[in-house]
């Protein structure tokens, strides 16, 4: 989020040509503390989507558990 961006703690999952990634990595490390090369074009987006899905599943489970606890 915004706080992580201001603190320079973002994570970047990057796909594309490895030489271009290496050229951009120095710039990305100014904004994020974790920069990961994921492979071909699109793999960074795929990794981000998987990460977001896992976080959403975790949040849904937490919300359902809280709802069940309140109702019980």
Residues acting as catalytic residues: 48
Give, as one character, the DSSP assignment of residue 40. Answer: S
β-bridge mates for residue 37, sequence order: 14
Residue 17 has phi, psi (to 5 degrees) of -70, 130
In sequence order, which ranges of the chain are alpha helices (DSSP H)?
2-7, 18-31, 43-71
């Amino acid at each position: 989020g915004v706080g992580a961006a201001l603190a320079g703690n973002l994570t970047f999952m990057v796909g594309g040509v490895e030489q271009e990634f290496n050229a951009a990595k120095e710039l990305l490390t100014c904004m994020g503390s974790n920069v990961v090369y994921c492979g071909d074009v699109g793999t960074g987006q795929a990794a981000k989507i998987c990460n977001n899905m896992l976080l959403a599943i975790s949040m849904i489970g937490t919300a359902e558990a809280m709802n069940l606890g309140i109702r019980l």
